[in-house]
Each structure stands twice: as C-alpha cells, then as structure tokens.
Amino acid sequence: MVSAKHGLVEMNILITGGAGFIGSNLASKLSEQKHNVTVIDCKLEGSGYNDFNLRDIDVNFIKADMREFNNPKLVKNQDIIFNLSAHLSHTGSMKNPLLDCDINIRASLNLLELCRKSEFKGRVVYTGTRGQYGRPKYLPVDEKHPMTPEDINGLNKQLAENYHIFYHKKFNIDTVCARLTNIYGPKHQMKHGEQGILNFFIRKAMDNETITLFNGAQKRDFLYIDDCINALIKLSQSKYNDVFNVGCGTGISLKRAVEVLNEILPCAVRFELEPEEWKKVEVGNFFMDIKKIRKIGWSPSTNLKTGMEKTIEFYKQNKRYYW
C-alpha cells in the first residue's frame, strides 16, 4: 500500500459513480497509468452511466448503490477514493428534491462513515458543482464567494461538501473538495440537456436539428473533460485539505459557444422565451476564478474549439452507444 499524497504508481483507487461521464474518463486515465482501479456504480436510470463508457478499460466493476454500500474492507484498502457519485440535474432536483437529497447526501455520508469505521488512511476527492455558488455577486467567482444556491441540487451538493470538510476536521479523514464548472466532452450522456448543455448542443448539430437558446447572452465557464481529469488527479496528489474551483476561468456566452460549434458543424439556432422552470434555476453569467488551483500546478490546456472537435469526433464514431 502506498500513500495517495506521494503520487506513486500502482495505487489502489476507488471511483464511485465511475460508469458515468467524469468517472469513466478518470478510470480510463488511471488505468493507463497502471493503477488498480475499482469502479462502483448503481446504473441508475436517467443518470450519466453507460456500459460503453468502461468498455476496454481494465477496472474491477462493482454494481452497487453507494446509499446502501457496506464493504469497509474494500474502502480501507484504497489509497485514493474519488467520490463522484451524484444526482446532477438542476431542474430535476426541483422536481424531485427527495431523490436528489438521497443520492447527493446519503451516498456521500455513507462513504465517509465507511472511511471512519474502517480507519481508512488514504485520501478522498469530492466533486461538487458551480451550482453551490448560485447567482454570482461578483465575477470571476472565487472560493470565498458566498454560497447561495438557486436550486436544490446546489444545496445538497454544498451539504455533501460540508460533510467531507467536517469528517476531515473531526475524524481526520484526508479530504479535498473540487467545485466543477460546466464540463463537456466524450462519454457524456447525450439523451437530454439537463446534465450538460454543450454536449446537447453538439447532439442537436450532429442530428441537423435546431438549437434553442432562451437568450444566449449568459456566459458559462466551459472546461474540457481531459483538463478536468488532470485537475482531479492533481488534487488527489496534493497535500491540501481545502476547496478548489476547477474551471476554465473564462466566460463564454452560449451564443458564442454555438458560433464556435457552427464553425465545425453547421447548425441552426432559434431564440425562445425562457420557460418558468428554467427561470427558477438560471444564475446569469458565471465563470470561475482558478488562481488557487493554478498555484498547485494545474491549468486548463484545451480551448473550446479543440475540445468540441474532439467531442464531435468521438460521437461520430460511437453515436449508436449514446443516442
């Protein structure tokens, strides 16, 4: 067994929610680095999981629900745990707040309890969301910004983050927390737009369907998946028990994002009035201050057009597995 803090090879690594978008890309990268990777996923209907995501990746897969998972020995034997298990939809959380609470809080609390009871000596990396901040009071949004979520998903993700910080302070569990921006790229679910607007724009363009914008002026912080994975690995090897923004650090309007997409894949756009459901969770312009994570040696390297090109090429080859 080796310490997660030293960044050595051949570590035992557990990824919860590992058959989803971020988890499967992370599993692929860690497997390539010759770590012993275990993936847990309950394959919840409507989530981001996809069996194809883990195809040809050397991992130990366990079908289990982290809300009920009870294997302290497996947890204890890990050097790093990436806690990615989550319910992701902002509008979905408003429709079904109890489910969002159950998945985002109970699953994380259960994992942390397993760490405590098993005397886990490794490191837990938790992934939160930009939604925890709510409507920005200033831009770019740094880690000291007030936490005023506009939806239940953001509230629950903030409480889950708080649990990770609390378990470090009270039970000496080695934790670090990442607040992720709008991540896009290969292996994202493509059936609807509730979990990733940029990927859904790409699907619309690939299907020659019209992209709908409610005004298009809102700025977002788009980060390509490979950059996100590198950030999470960097945090797993750091010495800090803290919270870090993980984003591109630049605001790009939805309208401009579609214009970039149109340079790669011609697409039509129409503008419509905002539905009431959307207004309830919309936060306006949002992009992150990423100075803090830059100081530990990470920065994004993929521009929007390059990231889109890579994403489109992946789905052209694998469309049948995601549509």
Q: What is the pLDDT of residues 135-162, one digit of tens each?
A: 999 999 999 999 999 999 999 999 999 9
Q: Delimit the domains of the chain by residue range.
A: 4-185+222-249+289-302
Q: What is the pLDDT of residues 267-291, one digit of tens each?
A: 999 998 777 776 767 789 999 999 9
Percent of the chain past pLDDT 90, that is, above it, reads: 85
**pLDDT-flagged residues of the chain (< 50):** 1-6
What is the assigned CATH class of domain 4-185+222-249+289-302?
alpha beta
pLDDT at residue 94, rounded to an integer: 87
Distance, CA of 180 to CA of 225 (rounded, Å): 11
> Which has the closest alpha carbon to 10: 81, 83, 79, 59?
79
Distance, CA of 15 to CA of 80 (rounded, Å): 9
Assign 3-class secondary structure to the chain: CCCHHHCCCCCEEEEECCCCHHHHHHHHHHHHCCCEEEEEECCCCCCCCCHHHHCCCCCEEEECCCCCCCCHHHHHCCCEEEECCCCCCHHHHHHCHHHHHHHHHHHHHHHHHHHHHHCCCCEEEEEEEHHHCECCCCCCECCCCCCECCCHHHHHHHHHHHHHHHHHHHHCCEEEEEEECEEECCCCCCCCCCCCHHHHHHHHHHCCCCEEECCCCCEECEEEHHHHHHHHHHHHCCCCCCEEEECCCCCEEHHHHHHHHHHHCCCCEEECCCCHHHHCCCCCCCCECCHHHHCCCCCCCCCHHHHHHHHHHHHHHHHHHCC
pLDDT at residue 9, rounded to an integer: 66
